[in-house]
């Protein structure tokens, strides 16, 4: 039995990594999502908008640029799904949660920075994204996505 396993080492390693990727990836993703929704509820009263300048100058007490960035890696199982998806075409659903988590986490970190600076609202929100470790479907590199959220945090004069 052991000998058969040793002869098919490549297959065994592949199945093991896929199983590990699925289990660990699912657990990590679930924990991340619960953390995201908890912190989103906490920061709900600090709005983020994409308007450039919604307030007259007199209303402002001050402004500062804030940013939040995060890098999230794919796991072995997600990559397998994406490789198969490359054959058939269509939505790469396995990466959807990845970028969704990255966007929300980056915005959360940015909002956190704004709150620490005592600001009331973040205007002119922009999102940048980049791939770290090109060609994620290649065995030799680990694919990650970076999302950077930045904007202008402003403190308003209280009436």
Span from 13-21, 55-63, 111-119, 148-156 in contact with another protein (CB under 8 A): 13-21
Using CB under 8 A as the binding rule, the residues of this chain from 82 to 121 that contact another protein are: 83-85, 87-88, 91, 93-94, 96-97, 99-100
Q: Does 50 bind another protein (CB under 8 A)?
A: no
Residue partners of 54: CB distance under 8 A and separation at least 6? 123
3-state SS, residue 53: coil
107 with 43: CB under 8 angstroms?
Answer: no
Question: CA 17 to CA 38: how far, in whole Å?
Answer: 31
Residue partners of 118: CB distance under 8 A and separation at least 6? 155
Using CB under 8 A as the binding rule, the residues of this chain from 58 to 87 that contact another protein are: 76-81, 83-85, 87
Distance in Å, CB of 9 to another protein, minimum: 10
145 with 129: CB under 8 angstroms?
Answer: yes
Span from 11-19, 55-63, 65-73, 143-151 in contact with another protein (CB under 8 A): 11-19
Residue (of 110, 8, 93, 118) closest to 49 by Cα position: 110
Q: Does 23 bind another protein (CB under 8 A)?
A: no
**Residues near another protein, by CB under 8 A:** 1, 3-4, 7-8, 10-11, 14, 17-18, 22, 40-41, 44-45, 47, 76-81, 83-85, 87-88, 91, 93-94, 96-97, 99-100, 137-139
């Amino acid at each position: 039995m052991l000998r058969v396993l040793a002869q098919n080492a490549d297959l065994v390693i592949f199945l093991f990594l896929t199983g590990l990727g699925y289990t660990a990836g699912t657990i990590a993703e679930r924990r991340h999502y619960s953390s995201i929704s908890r912190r989103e509820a906490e920061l709900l009263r600090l709005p983020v908008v994409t308007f450039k300048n919604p307030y007259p100058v007199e209303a402002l007490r001050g402004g500062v640029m804030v940013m939040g960035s995060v890098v999230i890696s794919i796991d072995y199982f997600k990559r397998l799904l994406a490789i198969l998806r490359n054959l058939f075409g269509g939505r790469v659903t396995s990466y959807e949660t990845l970028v969704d988590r990255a966007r929300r986490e980056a915005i959360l970190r940015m909002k956190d920075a704004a709150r620490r600076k005592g600001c009331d609202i973040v205007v002119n929100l922009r999102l940048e994204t980049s791939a770290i470790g090109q060609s994620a479907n290649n065995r030799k590199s680990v694919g990650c996505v970076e999302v950077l959220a930045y904007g202008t945090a402003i403190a308003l004069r209280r009436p």
